[in-house]
Amino acid sequence: MLGGFSQLATGREGRAVVRRAFLDSLPVLMGYTSMGFVAGVLLAAKASLDHPVLWAALTSASCISGTFNFAIVQPVAERAPLWSVALMVVGINFRYVFYGFAMLGRWQGVSPLKKAFLVHTLADENFALEASCRYRGREAFTRYCLAISAMNMSYWVAGVVAGALAVVALKGAVDPDRLRQWTNGMEFAMVALFIVILTDQAREMFRRGK
């Protein structure tokens, strides 16, 4: 009986951790789905791909960097050499190396498969949430990080795929050249997001300093 109660408590604690992760991820949900939608629209409208929805799913799932999904559109449209795309990917994602080093100590004891997933999804927002996580127990912390990573990744993939689907649906009724013209300037959405994040972080630092 005591053993069953212990398992129940662990299950409740696990659900509480996942619930906390979901609540913490809600601001990311709003940003990722909206920004991902824009990235998917640009990819499908301007990259001239045969299967834009498939490519939207592959690029958003294989590289969690939102900047990459925006930056890849022009090189793909121009059919740039693979080596130049690879260099661009390394340059864009290099900062994540430092995020990984910062989290290695807290991920000690995590299985290699789970650790690989955490490393793969360690975007800016994931790092901020995981680094500030209040759970100190290894099991709870690992569960929180996995939940945050899975939720945020699903938000981004869903947003990018939805954007590509919207363009595919419109292509039957709208001229592709006109559709590309309609999307001009949408790239600024990523710049706007960075400005908002920077402003919010600066305001938070100032508040803590006071």
pLDDT digits (tens, 9 = 90+) for 175-208: 555 555 555 555 555 555 555 555 655 665 566 5
In a domain, 88, yes or no: yes
When the pLDDT of each residue in the chain is averaged and rounded to a whole number, the result is 77
Q: How far apart are CA 112 and CA 149, in angstroms?
A: 16
103 lies in which domain range?
25-184
And the tokens for 31? 């940003």
Q: Total domain count for the chain? A: 1
Tens of pLDDT, residue by residue over 131-142, are 888 887 888 888
Q: How far apart are CA 38 and CA 18, in angstroms?
A: 28
Tens of pLDDT, residue by residue over 11-70, are 777 788 889 999 989 888 888 888 888 888 888 877 777 888 898 898 888 876 777 777
DSSP category for residue 119? H
117 phi and psi, to 5 degrees? -65, -40
* Nearest C-alpha neighbor of 155 from the set 19, 24, 31: 31
In a domain, 32, yes or no: yes
